[in-house]
Each structure stands twice: as structure tokens, then as C-alpha cells.
Amino acid sequence: MGLLSPASLAWLALLAPLVALYVLRRKHQLRVVGSTLLWERAVRDLRAERPFQRLIPYASLLLQASALILAALALARPSGVGRLPDGARVVVVVDTSASMAIRSGDGRSTRIDDARDAIRALAEALPSGGTLSLVEASDEPTVSLAPTRDPAEIRRAIAALEVRGVGASIEQAVALAQERLRDAPSGSRIVVFTDGGTDEATTLRAEVPIEVHRVGTEVPNDAIVALDVRARPSDDHPDRAEIFARVVRFADAPAARWIVASLEGGGVLASRRVELEPREPLGVTMLADLPPDAEGRPGFVRVTLSRDDPAGAADALALDDVAIAPSPAASRLPVFLVGDAPASLRRALLADRDVEPYRTTLEAIAARAAEAPDLELDGLVIYTGRAPDAPPRGDALVVAPTTDRVFGVALGASEEGARIVSWRSDDPRLRFVSLSDVALDSMRPIRGGEARALVETDRGVAAASLTHPSGEVTLLGFDPDRSTLPERPSFVILVRNLVERARAHRAEGGIPSARLGVPLRVVAPEGTEIDVRAPDGGRSRTRARSGVSLVTIPAISGAFEVRVGARRLVGLRNLLSAEESDPRARARFITQGGEGADVAGQAAATREAWVYVALALLLVLALEALWATRRGAT
């Protein structure tokens, strides 16, 4: 048996003033009487000098003291796993999604804190020879503590529990726990701690009993659930951008809030005071000028939600009170033309006023890399004919390759008179592009490798996509000038889609944006030191392995600054989830556990005992009220 809220025992201090009331002498009133013969005892008390009298165990004192003790015990929430058989194993599944960071009404603890306290009480009540293990129900369930009975190891694992990110697959976590309980002794079970912050009904199946305990209470919460920043340039304001944010108030009463947009590391761009109605999404649009920085890169827009004024305190969940997005790349996008690019491609590029083309060669790039190894091509690189052995950092386009292999992808012999038969219209590069009746004079079919087919002809794949850790490559196995494609408006749209995609990837800061808690994917040479600075100022260091490193980061919203040698990269992480921000317990769990809730006549269920203490308290209060209303109760 343990206490989930031992601090509540402080209410026992009220016993001191209660006892003091019974030992203090009563204040007498002077009255005129005909004789003092019958008042001798009162006269003796009146002559006494001490203000205290001997404590007499009145029935009312005992009843009132019992009520205080029972109330303090009920608030302390006694609980335990009951009387489990010796050797029984307990696997705890704990929800580590973002909603578990919601604070309680008094702001002193979070839901993950409440889960830690409950697991500690569970561990203290383990039977002789029993073990406890932990499974974290994050987006990808993991075992954070192998079965053990070592108290120190259990305490360390419980203390290390924290919010990991968006989403919690309770069903998969229970399945993983079931695997850990194969051939477990009788009385073993799975105990789930979650706030039920999902909108779905979940069926939990296992061969052992399953218990689901909800933590947390419903508290008001305001959240940013969507953020978008788009360019809206004009002649007078070439760097003008439109900042759109959608906010929701999860509460039963309306409230006024401030939405503030600022430049990351800079000043305030715009602010708006809004009236939020309960559970009604509100879209807010603000205009601001977002000029590029000294390096020609667009900045990052930070939007915060606060109370009363821009510097107000955050509400129940701080993770959804801030969101960050790259500003539109209104600055000119560098496009490096390596080799003799087709004339139709050059014309389509120049149609975009934000494109800044540079002509160069593979030899010039190699010489530049030898002089300044840390200086890389920053923009879209277009190779015509020959391409290097490894793709550049960022996006690249390879047109009419002349080598047998390009970045590990094989190409076949030239085919004449190919016609396009299908294309991936769901790919962003081919959005609004129609390639029907397009004929190719010649092409080299793309074969093998990890390339993903984008355009197929009657002679093979004519265009493909190759994704690498730091960007993506679009491979065209033909020369556009030797086809009917440039005669169609779709060609200009195709080129524009490629440019916009490269611009968006560049604006993201070199590391793809993702949901809260997703590790940073950093491309760096073997052994290179990677220094990461989190939005809250925390730092971590690691070394690159195999050219790519997945850097684990805390579940914090904002911009993570990554230093790789002389390079500075930025990774953006946001919550932006209405489901996680909703503090209500909405999930429905259907448990289908095995038999054995009672083993050898011993109750094996994990329950909180405060309900029974509260019932005893009500009984004592009823007795005290009955005593006080009877004659002579005082």
C-alpha cells in the first residue's frame, strides 16, 4: 500500500488547533445570583490562574479528530496492487504523448507527474519475487525498463519518464507488453496509465488481465493548432508575407487572448487581441514584412499565444502556446547550372523573378571545394550531362545524363520515339501537370537503384525521384529540347514546382520540419561533431556515424539550432494537434484480458483505496452530527 499524494497528510496539522480548543478554559460571564452555594465549582474555576485545563476525551473530540484523520488519508489517495501472488510480474504501459504535459488546475504537477507517482506506489506494493517493467506508449512504443525487482533501478526508470512527442499507440504498447509476459506466472498483469486524450475507441487484447487507469483532470487550455506563412509581395512591400494562425479554446467559457508574431531572435512583427469562444476554431491573419537575413536566407516566424497581454503567462499546456514556421523564401533562390542546360529549361527558370542563375562546371565546383571544404552550394543544382559521384546537399535536378550511373541509379541504352503513358500526379513536382500525348525523340530509361518512378513511357521510366538524407534529386532521362514537352504550359509548371520545392526545403533550414519530439536527421561526414541547441537553451553533442545521424531531442516546440562544423542548420518542431491539446478524457478502452483476476482467493487488482476511506469519513461525520444533536453532547 502506498500514497499517491503524500503531501496531503499535511492536513493532519489541523489536529493541533482542534485539541487546543478542548484544553483552553472557557471564558466566563458574570451574572448576579441569589446564592453561591450551588456554584462552588464555578467559583473555583474562576479563581484558577492557568488558562488551560486537563484534556478530557470527550466523544465529540474523538469523532472530530477521526474525521480529520480520515479526510487527510482520503486526500493522500492510498493505493496499491493488492495481494498479488509471489513471483507475479507487472508490466506498466505509460502514455508519453504531448497531452500528458498538461498541468493540473493548481499548476503544481503535470499528468506525467501523476503517472510517475502512481507507478511508484505500484512498485512499492510488488509481491515477494515480483518484477516490474515499463513500456512507453509513444508514437513508437519502446521498453524503457526490463523486468526487475531492484528498487533503485525502478526509481531511476520512473524518474526518466517524460513526454516524448505527438501520439500514443496504447494498443501497440499493450501488444508489446503482452510479448514480455509470455509464460508469465499466475497473477501477472498489464497496468495502463493514460489520460485518454484521443477520439478513438481502442480494444486492448492480452492473455493476462489488463487495467486502465486515467490520470489528469479537465482544465482550460488554449492552443495553436495550425500555422502557415505565405508570401504576399507588392511593389511597395516586396518582402510582405501573410501569417495565418488557427487557435482553439478548450474550455466551457470564452476568454480574451493575445496572438503575437515575431521574428525568431528578433522583434515583434504583429499582434492581435482575439475573443475565443469555447471549442470554436478561430483563424487569424496578420501581415508583416519579412526581409532575408545577412546571408540571404529567410528568417523564421514565431507565433505565441498568451493571456491578457503579449507577456502574459502560459496556460495548462505550454507546448501548444508557441509555433514556428519558415518565412517565405522571398529572397532570390540561387540556381547553379552545371553544364550546358537546355534552352527551354533556362527560359522557364528566368520566368521566375526570384530565381538567380549561376553558370558553373564540375571542375570549378571541385576546385572551390578544395579551397573551402565547408563551403557548399546553397540552392537548387541542375546537372546537364555529367553529374558528380555524390549528390549535393539540398535539391538537385539531373537532365539528360551521359553516364551509366547517376548517384547509384543505373540508366539503360538510348531509346528512340518513346511516348509517355503515365505519370505520378500525386507527386508535388507533377501537381497540375499533364503529360498526355508528349513524345520524346530519345531517352535513356532509368533502371534499378532506389529511384522512385515519376514518369513512365512505353520504353521504360523517363523520370524518377531519388531521396537522400539532405534533400532529393529529380532525374530526367531525356533532353526537354528533344521532345514536345516545352511546347506545353505543363513544362513551365513542372519547372516552377521544382523551384518552389527547392525553395521550401531551403527555407526549412536544412533539416526537414516535423512533429514534436521527432529526432533531427543530420547529414554530416563520419566522426563530425554535431552540436544541438534546443529552444529552451539546453545543449547536446554527438558525433556523426555512417554519414547520417538521428539526434534525439526533447519534446519542445520551436527551432533547434544545429552546428555541423562551420555549417549552421535549423530544425523546426511544432505540436499543432487539436487532439493532443484537448484536455478532455475522450478515449474509450475495451479490455479483453485473460482470466485470473482472482488467484488463490487473493484479490490481484490495482485499486485506489481512498474511496473506502471517504466512506468511513462520511460515517464518522454522521455519527458526530447525531451526537451533537443529542442532549448532553457538549
**Beta partners for residue 259, in sequence order:** 272, 305
The CA-to-CA distance between both ends of the chain, in Å, stands at: 38
Please tell me the distance from the alpha carbon of residue 563 to that of residue 532, in angstroms, as a whole number: 6
Q: Find all residues with CB under 8 Å of 162, minimum gap 6, and list them.
A: 96, 112, 554, 555
List the Cα angle 113/114/118 in 5-degree steps.
120
Q: What is the mean pLDDT of residues 196-225?
A: 90
CA distances from 97 to 139, 210, 414 (A): 8, 20, 53
Q: Find all residues with CB under 8 Å of 625, minimum gap 6, and list them.
A: none
Please tell me the distance from the alpha carbon of residue 520 to that of residue 507, in angstroms, as a whole number: 16
Q: What is the mean pLDDT of residues 391-404?
A: 91
Q: Give the rounded percent of residues in the chain with a pLDDT score beyond 90.
A: 48
pLDDT higher for 353 or 414? 414
Please tell me the distance from the alpha carbon of residue 114 to that of residue 4, in angstroms, as a whole number: 8
**Beta partners for residue 453, in sequence order:** 464
Q: What is the pTM of this model?
A: 0.68
Q: Among candidates 196, 22, 188, 163, which has minimal Cα distance to 90?
A: 188
**Beta partners for residue 559, in sequence order:** 572
Question: Which pLDDT belongs to residue 631?
Answer: 47
In 10 A of CB 504, how many CB atoms? 15
pLDDT in tens, 603-618: 333 456 667 777 787 7
Question: Which pLDDT belongs to residue 46?
Answer: 57
Dihedrals φ, ψ of 502, to 5°? -65, -40
pLDDT higher for 448 or 499? 499
pLDDT higher for 296 or 567? 567
Specify burial of residue 432 (Cβ count, 10 A radius: 0-12, 13-18, 19+): exposed
